[in-house]
Structure 1
Amino acid sequence: MLKAILADDEPIIIKGLKKLIPWEELGIVIVGEAMTGRSLMEQIEDTQPDLVITDISMPDGSGIDVIKEVQRRQLRTKIVFISAYQEFSYAKDALAFGAVDYLVKPIEKRLLLEAVGKAMTQLQEANEEQSSKGKLAVYEQKDKKTQLEELFDRLTQGDIRWDEAQRKLQALNTPFPGTCFSVLCAELEHVQLQDGRWGEHEKRLLVFAVSNLLTELIQLYGNGLVIRKGENLCVIVNHMVVEDDLQRLASEMRDKVLLYLKIHMTICIGMPVISLQDIRKSYLSAVETMSYSYFEKEGAILSWSQNKRPDSSEQILADAKQAVMKAVIAKEKQQALVLLESFFEHAATNANGRKESAVLFVYALLKELMEEMSSVGLDLQVSAEQRKNWQQQMHQFYRFSDLIAFITARIMDILDQVNTAGGSREAQQMKMIKEYIEEHYSENITLESMASQVFMNPYYFSSFFKKHMHENFKQYVTNIRMKNAVRLLLQTDLLVYEIAEQVGYHNPRQFSDMFKKSYGKLPQEYKSQIKG
């Protein structure tokens, strides 16, 4: 029999370790328990154990101190460390000093078995003790839980025939008393996992810690297990027909992971199915629901029943885009921000859960706005390389809210350039516009024709003109025409229809009506009253 010592400053942890795995069946006898580093070292000296399972952080001497002393004395003792999740920095030191493994609390039975088995293998190789081979072979066989995880992984992937799955379930003899099965997809916050401070070992520990926590919580609502899908987790729940329970379970999972592990987790609930044979349908509906998480805040809980989004249309989206562009051209910052919010809502609705579509919609707005600025003579000085970098950044954002912030910042930059690009150039343009109107008021001048004369977009020209003249373009041209009409009335003997033509009206009735609107009298009445 191999000798082992269990050490932790919390007696309940030692008690739990003793009950977690069948020590005697593995050929191991517990020869001591310690609650401090000093006590552990003394017992190691006295009993010369083969294996020590110890907390890395204890009073009166840490686990690192113990393993250093074991190495200094060249003892054959193998050490497995356990500790709280937040002490990852110790893990690197522990493994560097030759620890067999590092397990995070709460300890999962399978991981402890693996660590003990690894220690036994190392002892066997070092001492060539053939007597432990039988016990080790028993340990290395996949336990029931591992086989169940593999079976459900294949069921959700759809790569196992149902009759074969049934045979495996019967062999495992695992009852599922609930009437329904549901799959919950749990996605750990991607930004934090990609942080350079997280190594592969830390990620693995984190995913295991989350898996342990979720497994415990499942038991409060029914039966089930957790399987890993890449860096995400797939939770299979066997439950009664009460969907509210799944919402509560998902909420508790999200909240506990944030409380204990300080990481956000998004959970998507798949449709419930009555037969285990249909578990893949629940899984696929959960995965489909996960696509909508791009448009939600971190830590959201989504259900397959929420997948139907309100209808929108490409025309509504196009109109929203034009409204934003018009506000930017008009230099209306607050209005542009309000219209942008509306545009983003329509873009999200039209995307229908597709991230790539949302990115394309939003980039189209930015691209067309830059082209519009160029058409009105404003050089934004954005290189092709910079635009390409923008596109790459937009595809890499993990949340739609990040994309919104990025695009809003770019558009506000454009607005700032529009606001600062004026000055003397605008004064020159206005001088030319006024001179042109003075010379050509007798012709058919329209806002569109005038805008083309100064190479401006009609929307921009309208806003530009009103900003400088404090009245709209049409009213300004009418006032010029009416002033010249009065001059002709008083200084010539031309008839009304002749004056109308000379000031740009081909319809004498329209001219008379406009004259009366401006001066309160018809042209001939005005002339008679002034001369009288």
Structure 2
Amino acid sequence: MWKIAVIDDDKTVLQGMRKIIPWEDLEAEFAGDATDGQKGLELIGSAKPDIIITDIYMPVLNGLDMIEELRKNGYEGKIIILSGYSDFEYARQALRLNVDDYLSKPVTVLTIKSVLEKAIIELEGMSVRKLEQYELVQKLMQYEPFVEQERVKAVVTGHTVAGRPLPPFLQGSPCGEDSSEYVVVAVEILRTVRVSEVSPSDFSLFRFAVGNILQEVIATAWKDARLIELHSHHMAVLLHAPKAGKEEAVLRIRPLCESMVQHVGDYLKVRLKMGIGRWKESWHHISDSTEEAFQALAAKRHLPYPGLPLYEFVKDGDPAAKSDFKATEVRPVQFYQQLGEAIRLLQEPQIQEVVERFFQPLENTDGLAEKDVRHVGLETWAILTYSLLDAGVRADEVFDADQVKEELERLGAPGELKAWLLDKVAVFCSLQGKSEKLKHKQAVNFMIQHIHEHFAEDLHLSELAEKVYISRNYLSNIFRQATGETFNSYVTRVRMEKAKNMIMEGRWMIYEIAEKVGYKNVPYFTTQFKKYTGCNPSEFVKN
């Protein structure tokens, strides 16, 4: 119901307005009346009417001064002046105060109804726009964590763009100085038999499960630390600490890494190894620490904590470092990340551009030793292989794995590796027009990513079909061909894997876990969980 208030010093007018306004037809209600501007302000403050009908000449505070005070205080409702004076100066002031209509007394029933109908239509339009803005803000708030995660990823991999806002914990002190120091820990999921046996359709889910466990460990152990998913089997953990507390932070790294290794090993029977870069005094150099961390991981030389697979970067000046290419100059991590993103789209010109940009400064120089060329080649092939899985292509169906290994062993110079890599890329890209999976790989990739990011929400295939402009039935077939299972089955598996992790952590009640993974009906969640795992949640805890 729309609320209408009337303000006039003539009681006859007040009584007349209550009679002539067609309240039921307008779906409106009487909000009250007042006999002067001051009382009008008090009435409006308490009743909060949507529409105000007011006179100009009134005692204590006239109508125009009252309107001016209302506008200063942010009143956004409709204001209609009903006056016995048709003075041009009054009309001019009314326009300046954004008054919606100016009527002269006496006014007919038809006129007041027409004016009020127009005001209500405009109010309804304003309500719709406000609702749309509110829904947009809510959606933006939902996506903000993912947007911030991408900003952190850009900083960690060196993809920062001028003008892009930084996450709050990287913005430094108000005076512009960086009050923290930063270090990156590189994480690799070892390619054991267990990992190799994971099917292409399950690999994304498998990596998701590893990431979930690491995320929970990190959130408990280190405030504002960030886990960043990178290429294939690699992730990165960004740690930071106040400059005054750096020494204490260094001591916390070992238990954090031990906890990550232990939890992933216990829950998923998967082994991790890690590398750590050097601490940086500014966020601008975080990507240098990332490159150092992955170089330490590749070199496997300095193991500061016996029994813990955490390798330390070789510091400048160490004789052992002479045979290693400089991580912060060659920047393979940045190359791997860009290459992986380009391969998922199978856009040959974009892939060529990334490859050329990386190898150009290395050709005809001693930028890479032979062993480093082979190392970059092996890592690049691994990234190529797993990125192609996202595009629906199995590399082992196109090239023999043993032959690829032999070819890589024969490479000795950066130029040779570049030519070899571009040749393989050309073969894969030539398959694009021959496979239905490749034709729709982006749609399937979008669906998988959407499921992993929104598993706690109501997910409907029809809504995703609208987003990718493919019919629901056809999209269902595409998804089944690409993943080997139905859309609903995949959603259930993602939810159940998340639920298993949360149950093992022991931090939530079963009904809380059900809600967090997208089930409002707890008995239904229990039924689905038992169907998936073979036991109900309480039995799963005991086991």
Task: Give TM-score, length-normalised by structure 2.
Answer: 0.30
Bigger CA radius of gyration = 1
Task: Give TM-score, length-normalised by structure 1.
Answer: 0.31
